[in-house]
C-alpha cells in the first residue's frame, strides 16, 4: 500500500492493527501519527476536532473501562492510495465499567455492543471520520433506562444550557474526504433497500431479505427473520415520519472468499412527530446519523447491522422540550 507503513498488507489490516495498537496496546500517542492534526470526528453526540481531542477522549474512555476490548468484525472499504480510502469498520466492543466517566460513577457492570466507524485514510493517516457506537446498548447493560440516563447526562454536563449539543448538519465541518463511495452493485442494492424502507415501502424486507435473516439494531438488540427487521425499521421511521432521508456514502464489495457485503451511511433529518421508539411526539427537530452494514447470500440479505445513537436522539428531544 503506497504511502502506508509496509507492515500493513492492505486497508483492513491497517485498520484492524492500528485499532488494537491505539486501544488495547495503549498506544495513545500513536494517534499523533495515525490521526491528522486537524481531523474532524463526527459522532452523533457531537463533533471532536483535532487529534489531541481524540487522544483525550480515548484516555477518558480507557480510564472509565480499562479492560475495553475492540474486536474488528469486518472492514468494508472503498477508494485507493491516491484518492484516499474509506474504511467502514464494524467492531464488537466489550468492557467493564470500573471508573468514573460519561456513564457516571462506576457500576461494576460489563457490556458488549457494536460500533461502526467510517474512517478516511491516506498516507498512513486517518484524516476524516464518522463514528456511531451503540450508546444506548451500553447504558441499558449498565442498568440505566436510556431516557433517564440521557437526563442524567444533561445534568452531568452542566444542565440544558451548557450540555454538549448532539451533531446536526448545521454544526458540521466539511472535511477533506468528499467521495460518496464506490458503484459496486451490492452497495447500490443496500442503498435501494434502505431508500424503499424510508419511503415506507415495507414490502421490500420480505422481497429482499433472507427469511432466516439476523438483524442487529441499537440498544444491543437482535432478532430473527422478517418480522423483527420490519418492526425495528417501522418504529424508527414512525418516530420521524416526515423527516428527510438522505444517503451520504455507499460501499459495496464482492471479495473472493467472502460474502457480498455493503456499507451505507445515511441520515434522517426532521421533526419528532410520530410514535415509535421515542415516546409521544414532541415536534423536536432531530438529526439521526445512521450506518448500516449488510451481508448478502444466495437467498437474499442474510445479516444486517444497523447503528444510530438513541441517546443522542433522546438528548435532542429533551433539550427541545425542556423536560429535564
Rounded-to-integer distance, Cα 223 and Cα 213, Å = 8
103, 260, 266, 305: which one binds other proteins (CB under 8 A): 260
16 binds other proteins (CB under 8 A): yes
Q: Between 259 and 274, whose beta carbon lies closer to other proteins?
A: 259
The dihedrals phi and psi of 308, each to the nearest 5 degrees, come to -145, 170
| C-beta closer to other proteins: residue 22 or 39 | 22
Q: Which stretch binds other proteins (CB under 8 A): 122-130, 144-152, 229-237, 249-257?
A: 249-257
Q: How far is the CB of 212 from other proteins (least distance, A)?
A: 4
User: CA 172 → CA 49, 67, 182, distances in Å?
Assistant: 11, 32, 23
Cα gap 266→275, rounded to integer Å: 21
Does the protein bind other proteins through residue 231 (CB under 8 A)?
no
- Choose the stretch contacting other proteins; rule: CB under 8 A; options: 152-160, 190-198, 244-252, 256-264: 256-264
Cα 312 from Cα 43, distance rounded (Å): 9
The answer to whether 12 contacts other proteins (rule: CB under 8 A) is yes
Assess 182 for contact with other proteins (CB under 8 A).
no
* DSSP run (H or E) holding 64: helix 51-64
**For other proteins, the closer CB: 53 or 300:** 300
Alpha-carbon separation of residue 241 from 206, 234, 236, 266, 281 (angstroms) = 21, 10, 9, 16, 11
Query: Contact between 259 and other proteins (CB under 8 A)?
Result: yes
Instruction: Provide the CB-side half-sphere exposure for 46 (13 A, CA).
Output: 11
136, 146, 150, 261, 324 from 315: Cα distances, Å: 12, 10, 6, 33, 10
Site for other proteins in 65-94 (CB under 8 A): 69, 71-73, 91-92, 94
Binding residue for other proteins, selected from 82, 257, 280, 322, defined by CB under 8 A: 257
Q: Running DSSP on this structure, what letter comes out for residue 167?
A: P
| Site for other proteins, rule CB under 8 A | 9, 12-13, 16, 69, 71-73, 91-92, 94, 112, 211-212, 224-225, 254-255, 257-260, 297-299
Amino acid at each position: 500500500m503506497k504511502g502506508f507503513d509496509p507492515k500493513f498488507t492492505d486497508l483492513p489490516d491497517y485498520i484492524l492493527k492500528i485499532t488494537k495498537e491505539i486501544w488495547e496496546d495503549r498506544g495513545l500517542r500513536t494517534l499523533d501519527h495515525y490521526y491528522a492534526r486537524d481531523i474532524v470526528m463526527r459522532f452523533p453526540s457531537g463533533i471532536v476536532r483535532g487529534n489531541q481531542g481524540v487522544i483525550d477522549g480515548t484516555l477518558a474512555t480507557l480510564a472509565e473501562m480499562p479492560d475495553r476490548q475492540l474486536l474488528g468484525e469486518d472492514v468494508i472499504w472503498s477508494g485507493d492510495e491516491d484518492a484516499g480510502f474509506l474504511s467502514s469498520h464494524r467492531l464488537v466492543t466489550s468492557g467493564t465499567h470500573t471508573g468514573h466517566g460519561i456513564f457516571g460513577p462506576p457500576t461494576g457492570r460489563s457490556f458488549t455492543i457494536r460500533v461502526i466507524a467510517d474512517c478516511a485514510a491516506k498516507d498512513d493517516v486517518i484524516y476524516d471520520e464518522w463514528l456511531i457506537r451503540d450508546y444506548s446498548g451500553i447504558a441499558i447493560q449498565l442498568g440505566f433506562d436510556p431516557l433517564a440516563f440521557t437526563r442524567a447526562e444533561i445534568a452531568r454536563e452542566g444542565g440544558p444550557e451548557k450540555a454538549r449539543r448532539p451533531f446536526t448538519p448545521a454544526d458540521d465541518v466539511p472535511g477533506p474526504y468528499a467521495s460518496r463511495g464506490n458503484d459496486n452493485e451490492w452497495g447500490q442494492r443496500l442503498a435501494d433497500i434502505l431508500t424503499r424502507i424510508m419511503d415506507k415501502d415495507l414490502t421490500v424486507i420480505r422481497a429482499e431479505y433472507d427469511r432466516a435473516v439476523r438483524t442487529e439494531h441499537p440498544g444491543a438488540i437482535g432478532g430473527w427473520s422478517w418480522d423483527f427487521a420490519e418492526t425495528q425499521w417501522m418504529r424508527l421511521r414512525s418516530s420521524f415520519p416526515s423527516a428527510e432521508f438522505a444517503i451520504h456514502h455507499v460501499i459495496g464489495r464482492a471479495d473472493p472468499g467472502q460474502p457480498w457485503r455493503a456499507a451505507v451511511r445515511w441520515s434522517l433529518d426532521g421533526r419528532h412527530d410520530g410514535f415509535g421508539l421515542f415516546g409521544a411526539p414532541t415536534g423536536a427537530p432531530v438529526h439521526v446519523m445512521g450506518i448500516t452494514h449488510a451481508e448478502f447470500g444466495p437467498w437474499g440479505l442474510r445479516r444486517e447491522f444497523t447503528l444510530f445513537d438513541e441517546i443522542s436522539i433522546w438528548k435532542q428531544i429533551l433539550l427541545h422540550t425542556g423536560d429535564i
